Amino acid sequence: GQQVMQIPQYQHVQEGEDFTTYCNSSTTLSNIQWYKQRPGGHPVFLIQLVKSGEVKKQKRLTFQFGEAKKNSSLHITATQTTDVGTYFCASYNNDMRFGAGTRLTVKP
């Protein structure tokens, strides 16, 4: 099945700095979803991308799906302390596979 590798594992930034997490696959993905999990919380769906080269924005968050549909990224501009948490990518086919997640900490 589809496997997604996610990097980096951890990212520590100063408030106001940008943050990016990447997901990569050796095979073509039919879709990619992004989730956020706050410390001690549950995953919360952020967005789904299905088209090659697709770019979607949610306020300071920009999501991209690669042209070859083998990679995706989530970029946060000017991080805030409320952005703290672990960001997961996931892809589904017959089942759902998650990346290992990127844990973001933000220093005020």
Partner 1 sequence: DSGVTQTPKHLITATGQRVTLRCSPRSGDLSVYWYQQSLDQGLQFLIQYYNGEERAKGNILERFSAQQFPDLHSELNLSSLELGDSALYFCASSPGTGFTDTQYFGPGTRLTVL
Check residue 31 for interaction with partner 1 (CB under 8 A): yes
Long-range contacts of 17-21 (CB under 8 A, 24+ apart): 17/78, 17/79, 18/75, 18/76, 18/77, 18/78, 18/79, 19/75, 19/76, 19/79, 19/83, 19/104, 20/73, 20/74, 20/75, 20/76, 21/73, 21/74, 21/87, 21/89, 21/102, 21/104
Nearer to partner 1 by Cβ, of 3 and 18: the residue is: 3
Nearer to partner 1 by Cβ, of 31 and 77: the residue is: 31
Check residue 101 for interaction with partner 1 (CB under 8 A): yes
Check residue 92 for interaction with partner 1 (CB under 8 A): yes
Check residue 43 for interaction with partner 1 (CB under 8 A): yes
Site stretch for partner 1 (CB under 8 A), options 10-18, 19-27, 40-48, 56-64: 40-48
Binding site for partner 1 (CB under 8 A): 31, 33, 41-45, 48, 88, 90, 92, 94-101
